[in-house]
Every structure is written in C-alpha cells, then in structure tokens.
Chain A
Amino acid sequence: MPIQFKDVFVYDTNPAITLEEVYKLRSNFAGIFDFKFDSLVDDSLDDLSDWSDNRGVWVADGTAVGTATATGVSWDYGELWHDEDTPSSFKIFAYLNENAVDGSCILFRGNGTTQYYLLEINQDDCGFYHYNDGTITTLSKMDPYDIDLTGPGEVELAVWQQEYSEYALDRYLFMSFRFNDRLVLSAKHNLVGGVPDLKWGLGASVGGIGRWDAVRIPDLSQIIVWSSLDPGETPMSSIERAIGDRVVTHFVRGSGELRAFKPKATSVTYTVPSTQQLKEETEEWDSREALSHVRVNYASGAVEAFDEDMLEQYGHRFQEFYNADIYHETEAYEEALAILRRSKEQMRRYTVALRNVGWLLETDDHVLLPSGDHILVDGLQIIVGEAIRTAVQGRKYAYT
C-alpha cells in the first residue's frame, strides 16, 4: 500500500465577502462611508413575532434566550426557526450576548424540522454539525486554542455552496465561523444526498443556553468569490464585475449615502396628489427588449426561465446571461426571474411632470400616479427657479 491521502480540506483565513461588502469596500475606497442597505432579516430580538420554536423554550426581550427540552437525547436541540428563508449563499451576523454557559447555536440550510446544519459555540470549543432526522454528524469540532469564545462578541457565519461539476460528488456546502472578525472554524460537507433547504434559526444545545442579542442577514448576501480593484480601474467598474448579470439597483443619495438593493415587491412609496400633476405626461411602449425566455449560466450549470404571459404576447424572445459568481441553481433561477421581470418593467415607460413635489423621490421608489398606474422611478429632472418642478421618469411596476 503506498502513501495515501484522502478527505482533504484546505482553506485560507480571508473572510467570505458578500456583494454588500464589495459595495462597502469599493465605496470606502472612493471616499463614501455612509450606506443604506436592505436586510433580509434585521431583528433586534425584542420579541419572537417572526419566529417559531420547534423544540425547547424560547423567550425574547432584546435578547433571545433558549433552552433545549430535557429529553435526555443529546441531539435534541432547542430550535427557534425564523419565518424568512435564507438565500443559498449568505452571511448571518449575530451578536452573542454571552457564552458563560455552553450551547449557543445557529441552525441553517434546513427544512425546519428534521434536517439542518448547525454551528454550536461553547466556551472552550465549537463545531459544525449536520442533523438528519435524529442522527447528528460532526463535520468539524475543535478547541480553537488561541481564541476566547466567551462572549459578548460578534458572530459571523458564512455559508455557501460550490459545485465543481454537475455531479453530486462534486457538490459541497462550505461554512465558516468568525468571531470578532477572526476566523475560528471552517467545515465542508459533500452534498451527495441532495441540496438542503433554506430554513434557518437559532438553537440551544441540550444542557446549554442559546443567548442571542441581534441577528442580521443582508439583502445583498451573495458571497462573491473574488473582488479586485485593478490599477487604473474605477471603484464602480470593480463593483459591476462583482454584480455580473445580477439585477441590483444602486445609486448615491443626495445625502452622499450609497444605496444598493435587490429589487423586490414593495408597497407604494408615494401617491402623487392629483392637484400636483401637470398636464405633461408620456407613456411609451417599446417591445424591442422584450424577453420571454432567459438562460442564466452560472458557475456549474445553467438554468432556464420562461414567462407565460410574455410568451403568449410576444412569442419566444430569448437571451442568455452569464454569472460565474453564482454557484447555486436556485440562486441562478431567481436571477433569471428577475431578468424577465425587469424586461417586462422596461417595456412600458412613463414620464409625468409634477408641480412643487416629487423631488423627495429616489430611484426605484414605487409611485402611484393619479391615473392609477404604478411605476418605479427611473429618474428625475428637477427644474429650480421661480417654482420647483419635477419630471418623474418611471417604468411599469410589474410585480403581481
């Protein structure tokens, strides 16, 4: 038998970088230090209104405190599941109130009942585990040696999936735990048995206490493999390379803040008073960029998305997109749907002129016109003189 190696895992200590962090780092380089980002979850844990406990006992009043049910079964974790799913690739930022008692956990990529992954943080060790219907598998557990895990402190959990080929043997889930901005532990799991779900929550080990102050999952949580700013390059060019063909809206607000977010269905931001609309209005229908079928090529495959209404109305209008930073089929499919929706939005454009109002609006604000049309703001033209008039340019609000 020759010398042998097996089950290899290698990693560096760089932090995983989300798209939000690319925006932040590149904007900082440009001299912009204030931001307005959205969050999928931003919960100060004053109550448990967006949560449901599956096992154990949980209370919250600014700190979520959970204990497991004393069943005598070591894997019977206390579970507190959030209503919102994560993306496939994400970071969770959570504040560990204290860790004087072992057992604070974060649950992720689970189905909310019988299957999930978890990070368990104890005073002297930590570990990643996979729970599968009564069986707990240790993925990696160790004493981090130099690192004091006694809270309080900031926990950063990065989770993302990578596929080296279309075969299940080449599909991995990676997870990294940082504490106070320092890498503590990374782990892998070969997803031979299928792709796990997207539920996430907080947990407490048996005999331990989960004690969390606040949690946040950024809206732009996708983990970017690489971002660089090359000599002579502008920060925006670097940002756009990280975005790829993703549908993301960004702009710098009048205050100097950078705002970036993934477009999503919103309630009406501003209803234009009928008394304020001037009789200057255009509505334009342009089918040149209509799409009914898109293909998004991602890192290890491609997804196809169709819009039945558009197929019926405009026939088979196809376009192909590439985004090598997307490693997950679901994420790629969501991007394909966003591209179809953006196409639908941009087919119908509006311009309305407003008297004295409208300049508080910003890009992608959802505006209800006196005509009853819903538009998303694309741009503003503000004329300042004796009066202040605002021409609002928008596109159709296409969410249903």
Chain B
Amino acid sequence: MITEQESGLSSAAYAALRDGSGPPQYQYLLQRRNLKFDTEVSGDRLETALFDVASDGTYFYVAVIEENELRVKLFTIATQTWVAGYETAGTSPSPSVGPVFGNAQTLFYVNTDGDVIRATTSDNWATSSDTTWVDISAEGISIYMMGAADSSSVYLAEWLSSYNTRFHYATSGNVVNSDIYWPHKITGMDALHVDAEQGEAYDHDLIVISSILPYQFGLRVKGSEVQTDALERSGMVAFKSRSGMFSDHWIVDQFDDSGSSQYRKYPHLSLITNDYGSDLIACVCYGKDGSSSYNYGASRLYFSADGEGWSLEHVIPTSGYTRGMSLQRVGDYAFLIDPQGCLVSYSTELTGHIADAIQIDISERVSQSGISDTGIRSTKTQLLNAADWKDTSILSSENTFSLTVKLGVYYSGSTHYVTVSREIVDMITRAESSPEKRVNILSRSMASLLTDRVRAPHVRENEAQVLGADNFWDNTGTGYGGLRHTAAIQGYWSTDNNILKLRSNNKIGVAITTFNTSIWSGSIQARVAWASNDNSEYVGLIFREFDEDNYYAVVYEQLTDKIHLTKYRAAQPENIANSPTLSWSLTGVNYMKVVYRYSKVIIYTSHDGENWTYSFSAILPGESTSNYLSPAQVPIEIGGAGYLGKGYSAEDTWEWEWDEGPDPIEPPETPPPSDDGGGGGGSIPGGGGGGEYGSILAAFNFISGTNEIGTFIGRATTLSESTTWIKTHAGLPLTASFDMPPAIHHMDLDPFNPDAAFLVFREFDDLDSTDDFIFYNPDWRNGGTWQGLLRIDVLRNITGQAALNKVSDVSISLAQAGLLYVGVHYTGAYNHIVRIAGYGSNISYSPMLRFSDTQIDLKTFDWGTYPISIACGNVSPNKVWVVGQSNSFGNAPPVGRWVTDDFTALSGPYWEPDVEIDSWIRPVAIINPYRKSSGAYNDDTELYLVDSQRTDDGDSGTVARSTDGGDTYTDWTHTGPDGYVPPEAYRDRAEFPFEVGEAWYYRDYNVIKSFPTSTPTNPTVYTIPGVPTDNDGPVIGWHGRVGWFYIGSRSGPEGTMMMATKDANSGEWTDVTGDAWDYIPYNLFTNPGAYMVRCTPHWTE
C-alpha cells in the first residue's frame, strides 16, 4: 500500500484518500520519454579525446590541450552558445595526457615534466587571471591517463614496463599507490565522487575505465586444422575507491568478440539529479557495434544508481563525434558536449527531469480510463479528440511517450494527488465515429522494461563466487572416486586415503580442479608433500591454466628450497619471482596458497593450513600493446587452477606418449606461415618476423687477404633447398681505412624492430676520426641502408681520449627501443660504456665514467687488458651489468653494474662494486637473451652469466641465471649442465645455450648438445652428432627453429659455405646452400626465435 509517507500528503489528506471522504480527483500527464539531441551548436571542431567538461550552472567548461597550452573553452548554458576564444589555464601541458576537471573551479593536468598540476580558479574560468597552480606531483609515476573525482582527488593511470596499468590516487601532497595492476593499456578513464546517500554508507569515488578484458581462448578450424584462437574481449569496468583502496570491479558493459568494430572508449561520468528517484550516475562513451564491413558508431549512454548495476546503454546517434562526450543536465535541457560541439535535447524522465515543453496535462480530455493491475499495471485511456487535437499536440510527433497517472482527493479546499502509475505508452489509436472523435492510449508500467521492452544485445552474466573444497574423498574405493573434482591434464593421478597422488614416476604431472575452470582473480591453496629429498622434486599449484603447456605455476623446488613463480607459455618456463629460502626440505609437508588478482600475485605459506604467512608477491606481465595479438602473445588471464608436480613414484603403471601431446598455442594468421623470410612485423619487439616462424638467414663476409670489409651481406629470401641470396650491403664502407684485417664481430638483430639490425666491428687499428665501428640498418630485412652509429671521433670526444685510434672490443646491449649501451675496450687499459639514445632517429650520446683497474676492484684481476661484456634488462634501463673477463681460470673476473638516474651527467652514474654475486659464479660474459622461444622476446626478468668454471667444483662450467633481471645480486641460480663450456668461452661473445621448445641446445665444436628446460639444473645432456662439415671446416654459426637446425660452416679462408638443415626428429643434414657462393662466409644468423614455440625435444632420445 502506498503509505502516508510515500504519498507526500498530510495525515488528514491521506486519511481522506484512504477513507474516501472527499471527492475523487485525477490528473493525467503525457510526456515525451526519449532524448532527442536534435540541436547542434558547433564548437571548434577540435577532434580530440583528451578533454573534460565541467559545469557551474552558468557555463560548461571544456578543457583541451591545444598549441602547447591548456585551454578552457566556455559554453554559455542560458543562450546555448559558445563563448568566442578560450582562457589559458596552464602552459607546457603534456600533449598526451588529457586534462580533467575535479569540479568547475579545479582542473588537473600533467605538464611536460610529468608533474600533476592542479589549476584552481576562485570564481570561474571566464576570468582565469586568478588561477593558481599547485604541483601535486606524483614523482616517478609515468602518467598516461587521469580521472578526477573532486577538487582534491585525482586518479592516475601509470603504464609500467611490465605492460600493466597501475592506478594511483593523488591528493595534495599524498599519493596512494593502489595494488591494481591492470594488464592492459586502457583507452579511457573517468572518476566521480559519490556521496554516502548514493547506495553506500560512506562516501566513495567511482572510477570507470574502458579497456581490453581477459581474452577468451577457443578453437577454430582453418582448412583441415583446428587451431587455438584468442577472442578479444573488451568493455568498461567500474571500481569504487575509498582513499585509494580499490574495490573489486563491476562490469559496465563487455563484449566477447570485440575488435576495431566492436568496442567502447572514452568514458565520461557525470551525476544527474533525479526528480523521480535516486540520483543517477551517467556514463557516456563512444562505441561501435558490428562487423568490419557493417558497424555502427555512436555515443552510448549508461546509467547507474550506485556504480554496481548498469543499464542497457542508450544509443545516441552522434555522427562525427567519435571521442566520447559528457552528459550534463541543466534545467530543462540535457547536453552532450565535447570540444567539437554541443548537442542539445529537452530533458526527459531519463535525465531526471521533464521539461515543461514536452509535457502536457490531458486530464480534461480524459473521457474514460481503466487501470488494470494483475502483474503489470496497464492503463487504457480514452481521450476526446475534438478539433483533431491530436494532430497539434506532442502526440503528433514521432517519439516515445510516458503517461503519469495521479489520483487524489479534494480535501480542505485543495486537491491532493498521489502518483499511482508511471507508464510507458505502447499504442496510440485515433478513432472517429462521427461525430465523436477519440484517441485511445494504451500504456504499461515500468515493469514492461523488465518483461519485454529491454533485451540484452550481449551476454551480461554475474557469476556468484564459486568456492570449491576437495578432500579427495573416494566414495568408490577404486582410487579414482576421489577425482570427482579433478581433471588430469598430464600424467597419472589417483587418490588414496583422501590424498591426491601423482603416480607418474619422475615425470611432470598437471591436473586441475573442476570447480571453476575459468577464474580471472582468485585463489587456490593445498597441502603439498613430496617423496624424496634428494630427487630434485618439485610440487606446487597452477592457476590461469589453459592447457598442459600454458599456465602460471607456484612451485616449491627442493633443490633451491624456494617457491618459484613461473609463467609457462607453449611449455616454456619463464621465471617471474622466487620466495626466500624456506627450509622446507626436511619437513616434507607444507601448505601453499596463491592469491591472484588482475596482475598481482601473492603467495602465502602455512604449516597447518590455517594460519597463513606472506611469502612473496610479484606482478605478472601484461599486454604490450592495444593492438590485436596472436594467441601465443596475449596474456592468459583466465583459466583453471590446480596442481603441478614431479617426483618419485613406485606405482607408475601408466605411460604417457610424451611426444604425441596436443600442440600448444601457435599463432594462427599473424604473421601468415610462409617461407619467404620476410613480412610480418607484429607487436612483440623483434618478433612477428614472418617467414617460417621468423627464420631469416644472413651470411656476410670479409675479403680474404686484404684489409677491407667485404662487399656482401647476404640475405636469404627462402629457406627451401634453392636458397637465393641477396646482397644487402648498401652504406657499408667498401674500402675501409683500417690496416688490420677487419672483423665483423657480430650481428645483432634489433629486438625492438624486427626489420632492423646492427653490425659491430672490432679489433681494428689506426682508426680515422670518421670511421664508424657500429652500423645500424633500420630496414635490413628488406635490404635497407647501413648507417654509421658510433664514430671514432664521437668516442674520442666523450671519452676524452683524443688519441684514441684503436678499439679492440665492443659489446652492445639494447635496453629499450632506441636505447643502446655500448661497451668499448680500447687502448690504454680503459673501458667505457657509452649510452646511445634515439638511434635511428634523434641520436644522442651520453658517456658513463670510464673505469679501469683502479676504479673497479671487485676482485683482483688484470682488468685493463681484457674486454668487457655488458647487458641490461629493458625493465631497468638505468642498470647496466658489466663483466670483465679473467685471463685464466685462476683469476676470478669482476662483475658489477652501473646504476644511474642521469646518464647525461658524468657525475650521475655510479658503480656498485662492493657487492658480490654468488661466489660460485665465474662469469666470462653476461647476456640478456633476447632470443626467447616463449614469445617474450626481450625478456626483462632473465639475465644470464655464462660461467666457464664453477668455483664450487673447480672445473665445471655452467650458466647462472638471474630471474629478476639482476636486481638482486644473490638471485643467481645454477642453470644448465655441469661441464658446459661456452663455445667461445674465452672471448667476449660467449654463447648461451639456444632455447627451442622444451630444450636448450648448444654447440660443442662438431656436435650439438641439448638438455631439457624442465630440469634446468644439472640436467642430463644429450648429443646430436653429425654437424655437417664436408671438409671438417669450422662451423661458423648455427641456429634453430621449429624442428630444424641451420648450420653454417666453411672450409678455410677460401672455402665455400655450406648451409645445412637437419630434421630435428630423424633426418639427415641436408645441404641447402642454394645458389653459388662467390664470397667467403663469416657468420650465420637467423631471425631470433620469437615464434619458435616448440621443437620435438632431443633430450628424450
């Protein structure tokens, strides 16, 4: 019953209504319901998404960045006109970060220094001469998007090198770094302060972003093959924040098949006061729906009362306005506004207020009306249509109409109404039976919105929290009844006495729980136990599992006594983080728990499964680009959770055909498989190289017997048996001034540009000032032209060594796109590291302090006479590791790193000489292995030290691996076989084993050896015999791709080149040299194996 309080009447008037003690009254109001933005007031036609809008009731203020200024443009609401010109609210704004209003008097922007500036005007922006600016800088935060909730709260989006967006909350002088690491680059963001009355007990801020959402993995048929595909999902999500503590998210809208023709971007939030109920939060964005051929773009208007539940969007045709707009309602009008212009509509009940101009009182025309309420209230209203009233009323227009029915009583000298029904008109019928003319209106209550007016164009699901507990109780007694909630993915599993056991003996086992196989953020915990303390066993939990080759693992490894967080893509492990030493080896039974939320992972441990202790946390890599990516490249954000282990089992009665497993994720179409050695591109730096998984061959030569660089750099355009070679030497000095035999020391492919390559020379003497010794070819794959990158006079200038004319060693390491470090060893027992920024474009050089044996005294060695090796991870571009090389096994080499915040100043860099890496490592080179097979081409977390002789056993070489990019000196773990001898161990280009599929491969003179990636420490090494040398000449280079190897060899200085492949399974080496050679081969490269997703492992042979 409509209560007295709800009626809004006095007690006496309500009693008169209730008891029927006064004459009945009624009022029928008819209104237009739809918004119709049919008035356009053009602005500057400035098409930009970097804007924001605020209103003080007199003006709309539109902030934009234009001509290096922050400008505020004014729209006079009363006259619905733009004010000519603009007001300047700030200078030197960042051109890439949009300004945002906190309120009508407060504007936030980012300046070119990256500082957040709050510009405030005391009255309004029409007279902005009183503007004050306050730096509320979030120092060190690289902001690319903002959203302001009010005059003191602004939310910042930071793009991290881990390809995650991290959100921050900034107030005056205080920045709260949220723990939201969103694994995508967002395409829009806004914030809004919401008062306590609006659905919550406490004030909070609402943040809405538009973004890619977790990809959906599925299968599709292409030709005769079933391929894995990643379906892009995108949409908008909302967070609540209280002082920077973010809630979990709510979906505003989402699409399972998004792309360039299906998306939502540039959300703008506003609060709409509502005469008829709760105030509304409006979110306007630009969006498209459809296919690439047929799609429809328009502004989309969503409403919510609390930020949790959102309406089906109203699609507002706004042709030409494609960068999102802001909805404002002032008085009788609703406005959609952006810098391009302002669209105006009468306000209807949808925007919380009905303009008088679109509402009429039809009470006097009502001849009869019946309201029926049997589930959905509906009303039939018969109106008198004398003088064809309908044709001149609002009913003559093509619109949606609402009917408000008020019933009441005449009491105590006035009429008292109560709204008994707000309905939407279904039908209008004009009927004439002379002489009577009528209009019949059929309408239904708002319940019709639920029953038939609104239908979902896309799935909108709300999965309640799924929890699953498994005690592996076997109600069948068979050993398998306990697997009711477990799906074995790999290996042999059974249950026994309420325990899940991995029965496969010393083989990897993977299983998942079936309670929920599609978890985005969640947790799994279990008690784990292993068999033997001396069997190199490991056991742990997996999450975001797609198949047996793709998941994240949190695994306790006996050997290291640590928990390792590892990403597996296409069966390739990529270590992300590790726990401290746990001292678990002897206890045998422990509990592990992993909590993952967006890209943040927290690992807890426990000894009882009840009291959990924080162990460590890490950030998972996100998505590097907002462009379409192949399935092998997208982050796996949703998937199953379960178990992983490998250990001894005496009951291994079931064998798995290890070599016949299903294929892992492979790229479907981008790039298309071909054998042309080119094309592609892609978005992974250096990856996407086309060809047959990116295989490109290069051979280059020097002219024997002379002191000149050869005339030929070879580029193979096919990997078939008729290899054709194309000269690619344009720009190289055909006749050098060097008087020593020149050496193309090595060729490096640019991991950030798949078309580009470097050539590095060394060991030349009597250099002229104009001689270059590093060349760069930005379009090498297509031929291109070599450009000198570092010239001797530049080196002289920045080193201060005016007489420098000999460079005896060069080592380069690429930190980021356009950022190169060059380690140079030269005459005078000096080494320098030169930082080259902007190679290929606006190049600049920065010196680092030179060092010699007196400056680096990490260990005693003959520093000055031996070359250096440098490496850096792209995640820490200001850290450069340096390895000096020993002159014998007896002398330990130095290892250290440079760290600086400012390479442009000589005083900036500093050396960290007083820390030591693990003493067992005796490195000869340090390598950032850009060449990765797991898709992470320029892996930023792994750094390898090639070790020629382990000091803990005296005569065994190996490889040390840092899993955090060398950030932790003691984070080096033994990787690779004992006895490993780098092929060029005593040179500065010591090689790291080449990773293909499930194994690492390395050349040991005339054989190839391999060991499995699954046992990185002290693995069993297998030998692949028969390196193809027709005349026992030296192998000059080799590389691998999926299932194949390429070997280059030559027979002496005047010999010929033989190219050979070997089927990795069983084939013989085959000569695929192709056309005749008229030059002397020097080395061989392939495009690094970004797509070398799997190679049938040799190590099982």
Contacts and interface: CB of A to CB of B under 8 A. Distances in A.
A362 interface: yes
A2 B649 contact: yes
Interface in B590-630: 591, 597, 600, 602, 604, 608-614, 617
Contacts, number: 397
A2 B501 contact: yes
B305 A12 contact: no
A153 B202 contact: yes
A26 B450 CA distance: 8
A4 interface: yes
B452 interface: yes
Interface string B497-512: 0111111000001000
B247 A182 contact: yes
Interface in B628-665: 641, 643, 645-651
B20 A379 contact: no
B906 interface: no
Contacts of B30: none
A11 interface: yes
B457 interface: yes
A385 B446 CA distance: 24
Given A3-B539, A28-B311, A235-B450, A360 B247 contact: no
B509 A225 contact: no
Contact of B651 (A2, A234, A276, A382): A2
Interface string B223-251: 00000000000000000101001111000
Interface string B244-265: 0111100000000000000000
Interface string A99-133: 00000000000000000000000000000000000
Interface string A51-91: 00000000000000000000000000000000000000000
A141 B247 CA distance: 21
Contact of A231 (B459, B500, B649): B459
Interface stretch (A183-191, A283-291, A335-343): A183-191
A380 interface: yes
Given A29-B456, A229-B460, A360-B2, A9 B467 contact: yes
Interface in B1-40: 1-2, 6-7, 17-20, 24, 26
A140 B459 contact: no
A393 B372 CA distance: 11
A322 interface: no
B1 A139 contact: no
B513 A31 contact: no
B457 A231 contact: yes
Given A3-B509, A4-B500, A147-B245, A32 B450 contact: yes
Interface stretch (A197-205, A254-262, A305-313): A254-262
Contact of B450 (A11, A27, A383): A27
B419 A255 contact: yes
A360 B418 contact: yes
- The listed residue with most A CB atoms (<10 A of its CB), out of B309, B312, B451, B591, is B309
Nearest to B421: A254
A126 B643 CA distance: 27
Q: Which size class do A's interface residues fall under?
A: 35 or more
B971 to A, nearest CB: 22
Contacts of A39: none
A355 interface: yes
Interface in B65-118: none
Of A28, A158, A188, A225, chain B has the most CB atoms within 10 Å of the CB of A28
Contact of B531 (A3, A152, A362): A3
Contacts of A213: 201
A251 interface: yes
A314 interface: no
B611 A138 contact: yes
Interface residues of B, number: 132
Contact of B464 (A16, A180, A214, A354): A16
Nearest to B204: A180
Contacts of B801: none
A6 B311 contact: no
B277 A6 contact: no
Given A140-B610, A380-B373, A10 B522 contact: yes
Contacts of A251: 375-376, 447
A180 B240 contact: yes
Contacts of B470: 8-10
Interface in A354-400: 354-357, 359-363, 365, 378-385, 387-388, 393
Interface stretch (B363-371, B807-815, B828-836, B1007-1015): B363-371
A257 B277 contact: yes
A3 B642 CA distance: 14
Contact of B465 (A3, A12, A138, A145): A12
Contacts of B240: 180-181
7 contacts: A4-B500, A9-B526, A138-B611, A228-B461, A254-B420, A360-B17, A362-B2
Interface of B: 1-2, 6-7, 17-20, 24, 26, 179, 200-202, 204, 240, 242, 245-248, 276-278, 280, 303-305, 308-312, 350, 366-377, 405, 407, 418-422, 445-447, 449-473, 475, 484-485, 498-503, 509, 513, 515-516, 519-532, 537, 539, 591, 597, 600, 602, 604, 608-614, 617, 641, 643, 645-651
Given A11-B516, A251-B447, A255-B422, 20 more contacts: A2-B501, A2-B649, A5-B529, A8-B513, A9-B467, A12-B463, A24-B309, A154-B200, A169-B475, A182-B248, A186-B523, A228-B462, A229-B460, A354-B20, A357-B17, A360-B18, A360-B420, A382-B407, A384-B370, A385-B367
